[in-house]
Chains A and B, each alone.
Chain A
Amino acid sequence: MLEGKAMVKETDMSTKMQIHAMASASQALDLYDVYDCISIAAHIKKEFDSVYGNGWQCVVGSNFGCYFTHSSGTFIYFALATLNFLIFKGTSS
């Protein structure tokens, strides 16, 4: 499956991390069905936890809104295929 190019809607991540986020999403879409949002989100979150340390959160879906506090430089929101992806590292303090 070849996804179209991901469209970044909003971010404060470094470019390298952005590319990694979109690559993880694309990889997850190859592994899982487009309706299995939780497995897709799990795949991305686990990869980010491994590479960039614990505390990442990932929301995937076609209809959602959320409000959150994130650590600096760790937020990206983008669209890929029919889904929207939100990845951020939550702050617990």
Chain B
Amino acid sequence: MLEGKAVIEDTDMPDKMQIQAMASASEALDLYDVFDCTSIAAHIKKEFDTKYGSGWQCVVGSSFGCFFTHSKGTFVYFTLETLNFLIFKGASYLI
């Protein structure tokens, strides 16, 4: 399956990390059905926990809104195929 190019809606991540996020999403869509949002999110979150330290959160879906506090430089929101992807590292304190 060849996905179309992902469209970044909003981010404060460095470019390299953005590319990793979109690659993980694309990889997850190859592995799982488009309706299995939780497995797709799990795949991405686990990869980010492995590469960039623990504490990452990932939301995948076609209809959601959320409000959160994230660590600096760790937020990306993009669209790929019919799904929206939100990846961030949660912060438990404001700095």
A: which residues have CB within 8 A of B? 36-42, 44-46, 49, 54-69, 71, 89-93
Contact = CB atoms under 8 A, between A and B. Distances in A.
B65 interface: yes
A91 B92 contact: yes
B63 interface: yes
Given A67-B41, A68-B58, A62 B63 contact: yes
Contact of B55 (A41, A46, A91): A91
A54 B55 contact: no
Interface of B: 36-42, 44-46, 49, 54-69, 71, 89-94
B5 to A, nearest CB: 23
Contacts, number: 122
A46 B67 CA distance: 9
A58 B59 CA distance: 11
A66 B66 CA distance: 12
Nearest to A89: B92
Contact of A38 (B41, B67, B94): B67
Contacts of B71: 92
9 closest pairs, A vs B, by CB?
A90-B90, A65-B37, A37-B65, A61-B64, A64-B61, A55-B92, A65-B38, A64-B64, A38-B65
Nearest to A63: B63
B67 A58 contact: yes
29 contacts: A36-B65, A37-B65, A37-B66, A42-B67, A54-B91, A54-B94, A55-B90, A55-B91, A57-B90, A59-B66, A60-B64, A62-B64, A63-B37, A63-B62, A63-B64, A64-B37, A65-B41, A66-B38, A66-B41, A66-B58, A66-B59, A68-B56, A68-B57, A69-B55, A91-B90, A92-B55, A92-B71, A92-B90, A93-B54
